[in-house]
Amino acid sequence: MTHAGQWGSEAKPEGLDSASVPGVVDEIEVRGHIVDSLLLPKILDRILQMGGSFEIHECKIGVRRSDPSYARIGVRADSPEAIDAILGDLVEHGASPVHAEDARTVPADIAGAFPDAFYSTTNQRTQVRFKGRWIDVQDQEMDCGIALNPASGVARCVPMICVALGMPIVVGHAGVRVLPVERPRESTLFGFMSSLVSSEKPKSVSLKSVAEAIRATRAAGKKVLMVGGPAIVHTGSVPYVAKLIRDGWIQTVFAGNALATHDVEQALYGTSLGVSIERGEPIEHGHEHHLRAINTIRRAGGLERAIESGMLASGIMYECIKHKVDLVLAGSIRDDGPLPEVITDTLLAQDRMRQSIRDVGFALLIATALHSIATGNLLPAWVKVVCVDINPATVTKLSDRGTFQTIGLVTDVEPFVRSLAVELSSTSAPSGK
Amino acid sequence: MEFSTAARILMCPADYFGIEYEINPWMNMQQGTNRQLARRQWQRLYQTLCDLGAAIDLLEPVPGLPDLVFTANAGLVFHDVFLPARFRFGVRQGESPHFGKWARDRGFTLVPLPESMKFEGAGDALFCGDTLFAGYRFRSDVRSHHWVGERLGVPALPLELVDPRFYHLDTCFCPVAPGVAIYYPGAFDEYGRSVLKDRIDRLVEVSAEEAVSFSCNAVVVGRSIVLNQGAPKLAAALETLGFNVRPLEFSEFIKSGGSAKCLTLRIDGEEAASWRHAGQIPSC
């Protein structure tokens, strides 16, 4: 049971960043006739009065009147001093700290690999106990280890490849706990969707909810990430995505060589994979357009140079660069060219994406299985994810790989993006980045 | 142990009573007490209780232990079990061996609380019906009450004391019969007041001015109640409930933060304690 409004405070209605709130956590227990004596409500009230928040981890009520009851309560406060003050007060009312073990670390004996028995992370909010205190693990990411720096007292997720020799890595499960994301309470898409993937939901309702989540994310000062595949271009959705970027609704874009290439192809030739966007018909020699587009950009020295010279004057890439969107283009083995901005070293690309998701509060994954799954692997579970794809299997794959918070909208891309641009243009654009 | 129907009470003559330190807001070493008057007041209480038919155990007074006179703080009695106090202040801890020896000689089984706990006996733990109401904050700590409740197998309800003048529960709350008690609301917070109102059928409020004259610190023997004089409204309320009220003068003891109840320890169980009437002796 979580106290209403605690942990992911209701002051942040979307609960988007509950885990990024810095804080110190400890756990207390209290035993005795704490229900009849009103000691339990008193303890909970005092936590709130002193500026903390709580979560009841366990509560056993005595069966008979003479039986004692028991409660184990997580307490969170803004600083070590604040939590010490709260715990000091609660001790007077019979609460005592739960003496859990500190997390155990072992220095990495090989660079680029974890020690045996390393703790393998999930994408859920995780805490480790260090010197008797629960601290939040930073940079939460699934399939990583946890490096715990004893000097700074900071714990963070580290990918295997980033392990340095001697780095203290958390081993075993003692002193590690995972705090699952609560089911959202809001009555929006994220609250009422019971089946995660469906082509049979009223799209206008879903769309409004996505627009609302984007607005809330921006209002909370968080970034909106769009991950896109080339179908955005093929379906003629470029003008709408361009508008969303221009209007300041998207701060970060992940894509591959394909989206960028076809976007440029459209800007230069009016085609996507040789098909006229306006007429929907193949153009003679149109199949060469994408390669010629790549060649043109490579000859220009990259997208930025091509824009500077006036050669490239429209499209998603154009808007991204013009509006200083954080753009990460990650390559793959089937790429033509690729465009100079495409990062062809997979690990480097992963790392760039990792850096760029830090302040993301909402991710819109559109028509790409490859990049969506790659992004889902990096996102912590509290970032809301909406996956728009004509193929339900894409969303299923995403969930199966652990990005369980994904809401799937099975629909053609163009009507969705068009409607989203219209919906969001009805409100004023957010200021700044 | 021998059992009789007469109320049995432990007292300690006030021969060495005085104010030799200050551990509550009432104590003032400069003001001191009138030793002769204190002895006379104690003697009157002793005589009154004898007249009410109580059998009094007398503890030998000890020089240098001025508060040994307050036998209510010796410990908590439950059937043949005695839980000795663990005094908060060092100046009173010297009393424990004397109370302990008395309890052992009297045939009680001593069940000491863990050393880390603070527990001031019947000063802070009073049965009303089958429930042990227990004050904490100034003297006893809340964990001790949980421990006692669990050990004795009785519901123990800790109540926070919020006014330092009423530093023991028996200065602001007195069960007079099962389901009947007097209390001064200002000594408790809202949680405590709610618990008392919820758990005690007949709760008589004592006014602030009568509470500061230690009128809640009363001794109950049968249907008679001995308390400090100067609480006419409370006396009238108790008489309405069918009690005989015996007001006495305790001015010298009040200077030390105690009155009638503090000067006594009911050995056979308080009148308000259900277990006293049930008679069975649980294993402990």
For B176-186, the pLDDT digits (tens) are 999 999 999 99
Query: Cβ–Cβ of A41/B191 closer than 8 Å?
Result: yes
Yes or no: say if B6 and B55 are a contact pair by the CB < 8 Å rule. Answer: yes
Query: Cβ–Cβ of B143/A96 closer than 8 Å?
Result: yes
pLDDT in tens, A293-320: 999 999 999 999 999 999 999 999 999 9
For chain B, which domains are there?
8-278 (3.75.10.10)
- Does the domain at A18-97 match CATH 3.40.50.300? Answer given as no
The two tokens of residue A7 are 């942990």
| Distance set, CA A343 to CA A304, A346, A353, A366 (Å) | 15, 7, 11, 20
| Distance set, CA B224 to CA A162, A180, B266 (Å) | 81, 61, 14
Yes or no: say if A343 and A268 are a contact pair by the CB < 8 Å rule. Answer: no
Secondary structure (DSSP) of A91-136: HHTT-EE--PPPPEEEE-SSTTSPPTTBPPP-SSEEEEEETTEEEE
Indicate if B262 belongs to the active site.
yes
What is the model's pTM? 0.61
Q: Give all strands of the β-sheet with B8-11 in edge-to-edge order.
A: B55-58, B8-11, B265-266
By CB atoms closer than 10 A (0-12, 13-18, 19+), residue A94 is buried
Active-site position among B12, B79, B145, B168: B168
The two tokens of residue A60 are 């056993």
Q: Report cis status (omega within 30 of 0) of the bond before B25.
A: no
Distance in angstroms between the alpha carbons of the first and the last residue of chain B: 16
List the single residue in A38, A39, A65 with the smallest CB-CB distance to B155: A65
Q: Given CB atoms, is B282 within the 8 Å cutoff of chain A?
A: no
Chain A residues with CB under 8 Å of B146 CB are 31-33, 68, 94
Report the distance separating Cα A105 and Cα B128, nearest Å. 54
Secondary structure (DSSP) of B133-151: EEEESSSS-HHHHHHHHHH
Pure H helices in A179-248: 189-192, 203-219, 231-234, 238-246
What is the CATH number assigned to the segment(s) A104-179?
2.40.420.10
List the single residue in A36, A38, A94 with the smallest CB-CB distance to B146: A94
Residue A227 CB contacts under 8 Å (≥ 6 apart), including other chains: A253, A254, A255, A363, A364, A365, A366, A368, A371, A372, A375
Q: Given CB atoms, is A49 within the 8 Å cutoff of chain B?
A: no
By CB atoms closer than 10 A (0-12, 13-18, 19+), residue B226 is buried
Compute, in degrees rounded to 10, the torsion defined by CA atoms B101, B102, B104, B106.
160
Query: Cβ–Cβ of A37/B158 closer than 8 Å?
Result: yes
The architecture CATH gives domain A189-425: 3-Layer(aba) Sandwich (3.40)
3-state secondary structure of B95: coil
pLDDT in tens, A215-264: 999 999 999 999 999 999 999 999 999 999 999 999 999 999 999 999 99
List the single residue in A33, A41, A92 with the smallest CB-CB distance to B156: A33
pLDDT, averaged across chain A: 87
Confidence of residue A386 (pLDDT cuts 50, 70, 90): very high
Maximum Cα interatomic distance, chain A, rounded to a whole number of Å: 89
Q: Given CB atoms, is A37 within the 8 Å cutoff of chain B?
A: yes
Percent with pLDDT over 90 in chain A: 62
Chain B residues with CB under 8 Å of A93 CB are 142, 160
Mean pLDDT in residue range B205-212: 96
Q: Which of B117, B191, B196 to mutate: most A Cβ within 10 Å?
A: B191
Q: Which residue of B has its CA nearest to A62?
A: B155
Report the distance separating Cα B250 and Cα B33, nearest Å. 11
Task: State the pLDDT at residue A407.
Answer: 85
B227: closest CA of chain A, how far (Å): 28
Amino acid in position B189? D
Evaluate whether A18-97 and A104-179 have a shared fold.
no
Query: Cβ–Cβ of B142/A39 closer than 8 Å?
Result: yes
Task: State the pLDDT at residue A64.
Answer: 86
Give the domain ranges of chain A: 18-97, 104-179, 189-425
B232: closest CA of chain A, how far (Å): 32
pLDDT at B106 over 90: yes
Query: Cβ–Cβ of B142/A92 closer than 8 Å?
Result: yes
Cβ neighbours around B34 below 10 Å, total:
13
Indicate if B12 belongs to the active site.
no
This complex has an ipTM of 0.86
Residue A159 CB contacts under 8 Å (≥ 6 apart), including other chains: A141, A143, A144, A350, A354
Lowest mean pLDDT among A194-198, B4-8, B73-77: A194-198
Confidence of residue A202 (pLDDT cuts 50, 70, 90): low
| Distance set, CA A411 to CA A207, A235, A253, A362, A389 (Å) | 11, 12, 21, 19, 6
Q: Which of A33, A36, A45, A96 to mutate: most B Cβ within 10 Å?
A: A33
**What is the Cα A369 distance to its own chain's centre?**
17
Please identify among residues 145-204 of chain B the ones whose CB lies closer than 8 Å to any CB of chain A.
Answer: 145-146, 149-150, 153-160, 191-192, 194-195, 199
Lowest mean pLDDT among A126-140, A221-235, B267-281: B267-281
